[in-house]
Amino acid sequence: MAYKFDATVRYAQSHDWARLEGDLVVCGISDYAQHALSDVVFIELPSVGDTVAQGDIYSTVESVKAAEQVYAPVSGEIVAVNDDLEANPELINEDPYGAAWIIKVKPSDAGELDALMDAAAYESLLAEHE
Amino acid sequence: MADQLRRTALYDEHLKLNGRIVPFAGWELPVQYDHLGPTVEHNAVRSAAGLFDIDHMGQVDVRGPDALAFLQYIQVGDMSDLPVRGARYSLMCYGDGGVVDDIFVYRLAEERWWVVINASNRAKDVTWMQAHAAGFDVTLDDISDATYMLALQGPKAQEILQRLTPADLDAMPFHSCLETEVAGISTLLGATGYTGEYGYELFFPVEQAAAMWNALLAEGQADGLLPCGLAARDSLRFEPCLPLYGHEIEQDIDPISARLGWAVSFSKGDFVGRDALLKLKLEGTSHLLVGFEMVDKAVPRGGYSVALDGEVVGEVTTGMKSPTTGRFVGLAYVPADHAKLGSAIDIVIRDQPKRAVVVRRPFYLAAYRR
């Protein structure tokens, strides 16, 4: 199976991604994760102003068959939430690295992002699991 | 899980079609085809047609002078008026009224019948049937391994199938069966199915599995026929509220609680479970199966608890976002006094009570009920 990887994001082991945009970190789930979930039908979003620590569950994405938790790839304060996903959760299947970003975080520890995997390392991780 | 998973004769065909294989009732079967997905497969059956590998279902051949008397005794429906070439849904129950399995009964000849049983229950069902055969002049054969089973379902199923069979499908009523040929393969054709659409179930020799599968897929391609996996099969049977063993019915659930009392005949004479079921029918059951719809936004799923004022009082048997209607709905057992339409219940989702309301079943009116 050929998954899509995005060279502009960094990946967590939990199949979540993080992308630095200005002084914010945009977060979502990987193409592998959306593929494993299959057709997404629902997302439970956090609120702007919530703070998350790296590894915290901040959202739940539900597909036709399963509910999967989404983990924060970095720590910080949530400053934006992608409300479009409530009406159009299928965007997570269609455009996981673009239109289906989930939250924007004001990071509290810039070092966390650097410690995540780049696309090549994440691709190797998936290859090991296949 | 000490038992080895079994593969159907179509395993390689599923892989060729990007089938995502999962374990199900002891079998390795496709939950979806990855280039399609559960929603696309589901919608194909509602609007055109879908083809399902359901070889994990079992078949028991029942024949002999006492075949009818035996069947009358081991299942709850009255089969005495089922004509030759008829097919009917029923259940087998234990003495306490709990469900052994739900079944489809086909009458092939005056003294020859087939009982179609669920994959997960095959060994149990056959043992149970044999244990009750003493005293009846009847022969039972588990023909599951030699018999392949496919389902072709949807509004286009008839026209696709008609191009492959000499049988006059227009003359075949719903819930009837016919021995004929399909794609040159000797087949018992049932005008039956479990999706809420008109369609067919095909029984034929296992050696012909790939030939039949590929002939049907090729013939139906231009009509929008798609292969469908277990996920679509589940959502398609759920919307018209067709029960699934292990969910709506089980050993410790009776058909009266499951709202399947219409399948039970108390006037046909004695049968296993009759006394218990009659008592439940007359005195009422503690819980009833209801349909519900979420008021709070959330996806209900089988196994979630039903709560009233923080107290767990029941369980969701199946729930999902219904692909056809877009509604977040489910089936659940609730206390009988909360089974009225409009009753408020809570579904416990990740430790949070989410409000839901009891609504009318089914969520989708089967084509053959319109």
pLDDT tens digits for B281-323? 999 999 999 999 999 999 999 999 999 999 999 999 999 999 9
Q: Does B327 touch chain A (CB under 8 A)?
A: no
Q: Does one domain contain both B53 and B150?
A: yes
Q: Does one domain contain both B231 and B150?
A: yes
Q: Does one domain contain both B150 and B52?
A: yes
What's the pLDDT at A1? 67
A127 occurs within a structural domain: no
Domain count, chain B: 3
Interface test with B, best of A44, A64, A88 (most B CBs within 10 A): A64
Q: What angle do CA B241, B243, B246 make, to 5 degrees?
A: 140
Query: What residues of B are in contact with residue A39 (Cβ under 8 Å)?
Result: 37-39
What's the pLDDT at B1? 46
What count of other Cβ atoms lies within 10 Å of the Cβ of residue B263?
Answer: 17
Question: Across all residues in chain B, what is the average pLDDT?
Answer: 97
Q: Does one domain contain both B190 and B224?
A: yes
- Give the minimum alpha-carbon distance from A12 to chain B in angstroms, rounded to a whole number: 24
Q: Which domain holds residue B119?
A: 63-123
A90 occurs within a structural domain: yes
CB contact under 8 A, B235 and A38: no
Question: What is the rounded distance in angstroms from the CA atom of residue A1 to the CA atom of residue B35?
Answer: 11
Q: Does B34 touch chain A (CB under 8 A)?
A: yes
Residue A81 maps to which CATH number?
2.40.50.100
Q: Which domain holds residue A87?
A: 10-114
Residue B89 maps to which CATH number?
3.30.70.1400
B41 occurs within a structural domain: yes
Write out pLDDT tens, residues A76-95: 999 999 999 999 999 999 99
Residue B319 maps to which CATH number?
2.40.30.110
A123 occurs within a structural domain: no
Predicted structure pTM score: 0.95
- Give the minimum alpha-carbon distance from B231 to chain A in angstroms, rounded to a whole number: 7
Question: What is the rounded distance in angstroms from the CA atom of residue B318 to the CA atom of residue B299?
Answer: 11
Mean pLDDT in residue range B116-121: 93
A76 occurs within a structural domain: yes
ipTM over 0.85: yes
- In angstroms, the Cα distances linking B140 to A25, B102, B205 are 67, 18, 19
Query: What residues of B are in contact with residue A35 (Cβ under 8 Å)?
Result: 34
- Give the minimum alpha-carbon distance from A111 to chain B in angstroms, rounded to a whole number: 32
Question: What is the rounded distance in angstroms from the CA atom of residue B128 to the CA atom of residue B130?
Answer: 5
Q: Does B369 touch chain A (CB under 8 A)?
A: no
Q: Does one domain contain both B27 and B157?
A: yes
Contact yes or no for A105/A78 (Cβ under 8 A): yes
CB contact under 8 A, A39 and B37: yes
Q: Does one domain contain both B340 and B196?
A: no
The domain boundary residue, chosen from B203, B218, B238:
B238
Task: Specify which residues B150 forms β-bridges with.
Answer: B53, B202
Q: Which amino acid, one-letter code, is at B109? A: A
What's the pLDDT at B3? 64
Residues whose CB falls within 8 Å of the CB of residue B326, separated by 6 or more in sequence, listed in order? none
Question: What is the rounded distance in angstroms from the CA atom of residue A102 to the CA atom of residue B132?
Answer: 59
B49 occurs within a structural domain: yes
A47 occurs within a structural domain: yes
A104 occurs within a structural domain: yes
Q: Residue A58 pLDDT more than 90?
A: yes
Domain count, chain A: 1
CB contact under 8 A, A38 and B323: no
Residue B327, token pair as written in the block = 């509604």
Q: Does one domain contain both B37 and B150?
A: yes
Contact yes or no for B65/B111 (Cβ under 8 A): yes
What's the pLDDT at A129? 77
CA B328 to chain centre: 22
Mean pLDDT in residue range B82-94: 98
Contact yes or no for B124/B264 (Cβ under 8 A): no
Residue B9, token pair as written in the block = 């004769």
A84 occurs within a structural domain: yes
Q: Does one domain contain both B73 and B31?
A: no
DSSP calls for B179-230: EEEETTEEEEEES--SSSS-EEEEEEEGGGHHHHHHHHHHHHGGGTEEEE-H
Query: What residues of A are in contact with residue B39 (Cβ under 8 Å)?
Result: 39, 64
Mean pLDDT in residue range B224-252: 98
Q: Residue B2 pLDDT more than 50?
A: no
What's the pLDDT at A128? 87
Q: Residue A97 pLDDT more than 70?
A: yes
Q: What angle do CA A34, B5, B44 make, to 5 degrees?
A: 45
B170 occurs within a structural domain: yes
The domain boundary residue, chosen from B200, B223, B238:
B238
Query: What residues of A are in contact with residue B320 (Cβ under 8 Å)?
Result: 41, 64
Q: What angle do CA B20, B25, B30 make, to 5 degrees?
A: 15
Question: What is the rounded distance in angstroms from the CA atom of residue B366 to the CA atom of residue B240?
Answer: 6
A65 occurs within a structural domain: yes
What's the pLDDT at A110? 84
Question: What is the rounded distance in angstroms from the CA atom of residue A83 to the CA atom of residue A63?
Answer: 18
Residue B2, token pair as written in the block = 């000490």
